[in-house]
Each structure stands twice: as structure tokens, then as C-alpha cells.
Structure 1
Amino acid sequence: MNKTPNPGFAAEFDPARVREIALRLKDLEGPLLPILHAVSDAFGYVDDRALPIIADMLNLTRAEVHGVVSFYHDFRRQASGRRLVKICRAEACQSMGAMGLIASLEKALGVRLGETSSDREITLEAVYCLGNCALAPAAMIDGQLVGRLDAEKVMQRVRS
């Protein structure tokens, strides 16, 4: 399958590309977040090797850049799989079987929550409320919100 459903699937890290992104955006007002988003869009995550490049371009410390990256959970620190499955673990989803769903998916996919498969095919993550409580249990699969899930429905989407 040539299609990459996960829009954040990682391209190989390239320091020159990080410099190009930072150079293009550094004159914006408050450029750090736009640069981090652009790096994340380009590579699918913010590689630790990008932090000193960005810090240098913006005359910031590495700690300042690291602090922003680590504060916002939407910035990935590692490459994700080709398919990204985020299962909601908030109260409404838990009451409707999210924990059983997670256990079934871990077994079926051969990957634990918070991990990426060794072939980088799939990443399974927890999120804490997708705002889809009426359709619990809910998940975000490759950026698409879905509800009333069971393991079979998730597997059908992942295999499609």
C-alpha cells in the first residue's frame, strides 16, 4: 500500500530542512510556535536534533525551546507509525469500555499503548477526551474522529 493515511508520518530528519523552515519563519511575531508546527508538519515530529538549530536561529536557549515542545502535547517527540490510533481514556469512554478496547487492540496489533510497532506500521496512543462523549468509546484514527467503537471496527479502519 503506497498511501500514508497518517498525515504526521515522519519524513527522515534533515537539519538543513529545519534551518530552511526556521529561516523562512523567524521574522514572524512570536516565531517559535509557527516554526515548531512547520517542523512537525515536515517530519511528523520534533526531533531533539532540531532544538539547538531552532534555538540558535531565534537566539533562545535550548531549554526554552525544549520547554515549549514538552509543554504542548501535540508536538510529537518521536516518529509515529504510518497509522496513528488514539483511543480516548476519559471517564465517559472508560465507562463505555475503552479499557477493554485498548486491551483488545494491544493484543490484536501486537503493540502496547504509547508504542509504535517495530515496522513503524502503527502507533497506539491514549488521549484524554476527544469531545465525542455521546459516542463513547471514541478514537481518532489517522486524524479522523470516530465513535461507538469496538476492536473489530478499529481493526477494519486500520486495515483499510
Structure 2
Amino acid sequence: MEIPFKEVAGALGAVAVALLGLYQWRRTKRSGRFLEDREAAYKAVWDALEQVHLHVRSESFNGSGFDEHVRTANTLMIKYGLHISQHDKELAAQYMNALELLGAVLSQMASDHPTRREFAKTLEFPPMPDELAPAFSRVTKARDALTESFRRAVGAGQI
């Protein structure tokens, strides 16, 4: 009895290619899921950080409300620690520190102060008295750095 080597080799090759394809498909599926989870994590943290920002700019800003919003953002960064890079956690902390400083300066203004009211309207470029400019500049720089890093993390630059 003669063994059909060509046919056996062809069949083994086909099985090997099929197994390799299955392996790559599973790996891609897991990788895709991880990327989707990372994107969701970054979006959740971003939303929490922006809630901190909105609270600081609101007319009802207070320290306990600020602390609660910061706690929520920090809780999400811990929860999604697998997906959020250490660098981005540090940028988020810098952003929240800058927001805290801005909140402290704003809270020293009377609640009916025109600048405070304009900030509560969430204008992108509200009127800027001298005592507020350094704190607002710090927030803007921290937010810009965080925005750029978060966009890179979720692949927004690849679109």
C-alpha cells in the first residue's frame, strides 16, 4: 500500500492554516474587546472629570460638592486601573488640582459678581479679572494636555 504523501501534506497544511486562523481570530476578538473596554473606561473617567469642572464653574460651587465629584473621578480611575495609564492618571490629578485652585479663587468672589455669573454660564472664554487669570490658565493647560492624551489613548488620532 502506497501512502499518498502529497495529499496527507496538503491536508495537514490545511488543518494548520485553519488552526492558525482560529488562533488569530480569537486573539483579535480579545484584543478588540480590550480596546472597547479601554475606550469606555476613558470616556467614563472623562465624563467624571468634566463633572468636576462643571461643578467648579457653577454658582453653587462648594467644597463638599467638589470633594464628592473628585471622589467619583478617582473611584473610576481605580476601577478602570487596568485601562487607564499611569501618565493619564497623573494628568487627571493635575487637572483636578488646577480645578480646585480655580474653585478657591471663584469662591472668594461674591455670588453676584459678574465674573462668577459668567463662569457659571460655562463660556469658553469668560471675562478674566487679574486675580483669576493664573488659575484659569492652569486649568486650560491641564485640560488641553489631558484631552490630547485621552484622545491618543482611545485612538481618536487614527480617524
Q: Quick one: higher RCO (CA 8 Å, sep 6+), 1 or 2?
A: 2
State the TM bucket, normalised to the shorter chain.
under 0.3
Please state which structure has a larger fraction of its residues in helix: 2
With normalisation by structure 1, the TM-score equals: 0.24
**TM-score of the aligned structures, taking structure 2 as reference length:** 0.24
Give 1 or 2 for the bigger CA radius of gyration. Answer: 2
- Quick check: which one's strand share is greater? 1
